[in-house]
Amino acid sequence: MKEELQKKLREAFPQLTLDLEINERRIVTVRGECGSWDELVDVGHFLAKQKEVKNVVSRMTVRGLAIPEKDYAPLAEKGRKKGVIRKADVVIVGAGVTGCGIARELAKYDLDIVVCEMSDDVCTGASKANNGNIHPGMAVKPGTLKARLNVEGNRLFQKWADELHFALDWCGCLGVVTDEKLMPAVEAVYQVALMNGVYKPEIVSPERALELEPGLAKRNLDIKGGAYFPSFGQVETYEVVLALAENAAQNRTTFLLNTTVADVLHENGTVRGVLTDRGIIEARYVINCAGVYADEISAMAGDACYTIHPRKGTLAVLDKHCRPEFNGVVMIIDGNQIQNKKNAESKGGGMGRTNEWQMLLGPSATEVPDKEDNTTTPEDLAYTMAINTNPNAGVADIIRIFCGVRPSDFSEDFVIEMSPVTHGFINVGAIQSPGLASAPAIAKMVEEILLKDAGSVPLRASYDPVLPPKTNFRHMSHEEQDALIRKDPRYGRIICRCEQITEGEILDAIHSRIVPTSVDAIKRRTRAGMGRCQGGFCQPKVLEILARELGKDPTEICLKDGDSRILLKENRRGTLNPQPEKGDGPV
């Protein structure tokens, strides 16, 4: 098998000298030097597509490129000095939508669960930089785990929304073409939807398209036909993740933020816990939901079975005065349009909207070597803006550009399994799009894996799956607002004028179970700072409230983590100084 694979690889990449190893699990490890990062990714994809290969571990290098690597040694040393700080049944590594969804699912059982998150808050990685699409399942390869969990998760999402009270809009997705030659491509997508079991996909006539989206009539398009997917939904991803985390915490799950897992402890083929920078947590099970670092966590457990190759996506949020033209997500495709350079392994993104009725463009899909590269490039922004088909919106209407990094592996499928190498270690890796839509089904699958191994686990008698709804002042009627203000005048003090967010809502967020300690954490919970001025007016007020309620000095308050203190600057001696230098003006 190895010789045959090696031959295929030489034929496909004759310019490279690469060496392969393949084990009994059909995991290929490849070594050698490539000429570029894209070439390295192409090699990985080529090998993963061979029928005899389950997945690929890259030990390849790139000529002239230092591939960034995270240094865990000082974090591990720091944790070892502190010794054992906690004993638990389950440790979950990562607090994105996958980790928080699993935590909530397992919280119904009498288990001591600890979630370790390296950042200062939940939902700060790939889950944060997400367009919020609850995909139906028509854009994933049939027969894959990703396809099955996408469709199952889509159907479970309404239950999550009902119990956790986050906004979920089943707005539907309509794709139309204005060139008859493109109808076979539409039919192909429709057939994939049928194979995957997508809910009620529909090939539509021009008349049906206009019935579904009357706004199309204003375009005077010569629509030839299209496809409609009613089970396409839209959420604000951070609302979902926060609700999952809050409900898990409500049911006695412990969240340790600013806690980096530096090693997975295992002995004689069995997991023993994790070593973090805050100390050792002993546990019977470790569930790996570490996003772009999931492959490194898996290797720490002695199970190097896949490699994450980061895929960066850029999104643009437009001002609210650029109202979306359509009720749902509409893709207008004609034969003469400028074709974006699309990643063949990613469905990418399109023109959509948020639940707050803001236009949202993207994401792009660019392979990058750095797992923490969230910079915006002119090329990625150009890709994102080229998606726009709204003639009344342009670059000048952008109020925010942001990037996320997808944790894709070379198989382009999810990796979810109890490790056959280290018992008690459960991999939940390579969860890229449609990971959000799949999240409820992923949580169910991990629950089944754990219970199958653990046997009978008693249910928690006090378990409550319902999270009380949040106060959203801006969505209330005037009568409801007046009644709330009479009850608590702090709801009458507007802190964020763009989004109409009150002091009362910010206080609710600060005194919640998952305590926000940064300005960005408040933004995710309340939308304070998400409007046109992007915090230009409200940020000082939010900072003041955080300092007051947390009992901190204002100079301690950060934008997003411990290294981003807002009111401090480096002086000429390289130390942080809260006082301005002469001529600098106010800090």
The number of CA neighbours under 13 Å toward the Cβ of 584 is 13
What is the DSSP secondary-structure string of 166-192? ---B---EEEEESSGGGHHHHHHHHHH
Q: Which residues pair with 266 in a beta bridge?
A: 271
Instruction: Give the integer Cα–Cα distance in Å for 493 and 277.
Output: 40
Residue 582 DSSP code: T
Strands 225-229 and 173-177: antiparallel
Find the helix or strand (DSSP H, E) in which 504 lies.
Answer: helix 503-510
| Alpha-carbon span 398 to 315, nearest angstrom | 10
Here the tokens at position 226 are 């299209």
Phi, psi of 197 (to 5 degrees): 80, 30
d(CA 106, CA 113): 8
> What's the DSSP call for residue 124?
-
Secondary structure of 90-113 in HEC code, one letter for each residue: EEEECCCHHHHHHHHHHCCECCCE
Catalytic: which of 135, 321, 423, 478? 135
Q: Do residues 501 and 494 lie in contact, with contact meaning Cβ atoms separated by under 8 Å?
A: yes
Alpha carbon separation from 328 to 205, 209, 229, 285 (Å, rounded): 17, 12, 10, 42
The crossing angle, in degrees rounded to 10, of helices 237-250 and 145-164 is 70
Q: Would you say 103 and 97 are in contact if contact means Cβ atoms under 8 Å apart? A: no
Closest to 98 (Cα-Cα) out of 273, 294, 281, 233: 294
CA angle 356, 358, 360 (to 5 degrees): 120
In the three-class reduction of DSSP (H, G, I as helix; E, B as strand; rest coil), residue 315 is classed as strand
Q: Is 475 among the catalytic positions?
A: no
Distance CA 59, CA 20 (A): 10
What span, in angstroms and rounded, lies between the C-alpha atoms of 362 and 356? 17
Using an 8 Å Cβ cutoff, are 118 and 259 in contact?
Answer: yes
Q: What is the CA radius of gyration of the chain?
A: 25
- In angstroms, the CA 272 to CA 301 distance is 10
Locus of tokens 């204005």:
178
Q: Among 293, 299, 325, which residue's Cα sits nearest to residue 389?
A: 325
SS3 255: strand
User: Tokens for 95?
Assistant: 């607090």
- Residues with Cβ within 8 Å of 405's Cβ and at least 6 positions away in sequence, in order, are 125, 126, 129, 292, 310, 311, 312, 313, 368, 371, 372, 373, 374
What CA dihedral angle connects 33, 39, 45 and 47, to 10 degrees?
A: -40
Which residues are the active-site residues?
Answer: 135
